[in-house]
């Protein structure tokens, strides 16, 4: 009888200890991260653009397509805004930030077809949910680039980009394009950002040099302006794929507590 009573006491103490430890353990606070990025999109028919978010709770409504009422891109400086059409939400890889695991979320939308280039220098994405929740998330800079009115076709054979030496961030430093045949004299080159892109043509390879800045930059279109007034546009291309973006981005990370 005493042995049975002893076992019952041990079991009760174990259950009580488990309940105490469960209450003492910290509950997960849903968080969402963004990283200051230069997003640039060429406006083509049915073109899909992507913004990157990071979240530590995949059950939250903000990553549930059916719960999103609308998404609005706005410039906090000029107050310009445009409603975007959500295309889909995809999940990427996991990363660790401040001892928490965050999943990269690709929020995809239909690139709007505007009558002219449109730049959001202080871009924020407002996400409105069906449950009346609303979140304003800093993105960085967002540009919608229009094709030129006098476009020409040019054959190219290779395209690649790389970071600057010793820069661990996911930011382009150079783009190399090899063309088939000779190019007309180039007046200027744009990638849809405010940075002044310098260029050098050596035989059949065009090298674009992109200045450093406190923004990520890994997916851009190209627009070449020639001296005769014609242009050549190239759709978006992902030049850099990194799996430790949060680790290398430091002060460019924006943290949001989710309800």
- In this predicted model, what pLDDT tens digit does every residue of 35-84 receive, in sequence order? 999 999 999 888 999 999 999 999 999 999 999 999 999 999 999 999 99
**% of the chain exceeding 90 in pLDDT:** 81
Are 226 and 140 contained in the same domain?
no
Are 223 and 204 contained in the same domain?
yes
In a domain, 6, yes or no: no
Q: Report the predicted TM-score, pTM, of the whole model to 2 decimal places.
A: 0.86
Domain that holds residue 191: 156-238
* Residue in the structure block whose two tokens are 């009888």: 1
- Label each residue of 58-122 as H, E or C: CCCHHHCHHHEEEEEEEECCCCCEEEEEEEEEEEEEEEEECCEEEEEEEEEEECCCCCCCEEEEE
In a domain, 243, yes or no: no
Report the DSSP beta bridge partners of residue 108.
Answer: 50, 88
Q: CATH number of the domain at 114, please.
A: 2.60.40
pLDDT-derived band at 192 (thresholds 50, 70, 90) equals confident
Are 234 and 172 contained in the same domain?
yes
In a domain, 3, yes or no: no
pLDDT-derived band at 4 (thresholds 50, 70, 90) equals low
| pLDDT single digits (tens) 76-107 | 999 999 999 999 999 999 999 999 999 999 99
Report the DSSP beta bridge partners of residue 185.
Answer: none
- Looking at residue 55, its pLDDT comes to 98
Which among 87, 3, 17 is positioned nearest to 49, based on CA atoms? 87
| 65 CA to centre of own chain | 18
Q: Residues 6 or more apart from 3 whose CB is under 8 A from it?
A: none
In a domain, 9, yes or no: no
Are 176 and 225 contained in the same domain?
yes
In a domain, 244, yes or no: no
Are 143 and 35 contained in the same domain?
yes
**How many domains, the chain?**
2
| pLDDT single digits (tens) 206-218 | 999 999 999 999 9
Are 189 and 140 contained in the same domain?
no
Burial pattern 20-38, b for ≥16 Cβ within 10 A else e, equals eeeeeeeeeebbbbbbbbb
């Amino acid at each position: 009888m005493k042995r049975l009573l002893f076992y019952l006491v041990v079991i009760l103490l174990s259950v009580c200890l488990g309940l105490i430890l469960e209450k003492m353990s910290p509950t997960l606070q849903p968080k969402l991260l963004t990283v200051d990025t230069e997003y640039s999109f060429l406006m083509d028919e049915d073109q899909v653009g992507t913004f990157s978010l990071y979240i530590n709770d995949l059950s939250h409504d903000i990553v549930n397509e059916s719960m999103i009422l609308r998404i609005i891109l706005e410039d906090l400086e000029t107050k310009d805004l445009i409603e975007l059409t959500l295309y889909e939400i995809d999940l990427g890889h996991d990363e660790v930030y401040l001892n928490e695991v965050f999943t990269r979320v690709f929020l995809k939308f239909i690139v709007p077809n505007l009558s002219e280039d449109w730049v959001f220098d202080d871009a924020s994405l407002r996400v409105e949910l069906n449950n009346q929740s609303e979140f304003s998330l800093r993105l960085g800079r967002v540009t919608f680039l229009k094709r030129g009115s006098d476009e020409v076709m040019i054959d190219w054979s290779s395209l690649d980009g790389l970071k600057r030496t010793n820069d661990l961030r996911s930011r382009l430093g150079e783009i190399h394009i090899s063309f088939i045949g000779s190019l007309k004299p180039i007046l200027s080159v744009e990638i849809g950002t405010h940075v002044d892109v310098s260029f050098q043509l050596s035989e059949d390879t065009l090298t674009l040099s992109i200045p450093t800045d406190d923004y990520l930059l890994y997916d851009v279109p190209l627009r070449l302006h020639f001296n005769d007034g014609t242009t050549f546009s190239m759709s978006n291309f992902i030049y850099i794929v990194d799996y430790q973006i949060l680790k290398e981005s430091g002060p460019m990370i924006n943290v949001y507590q989710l309800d």
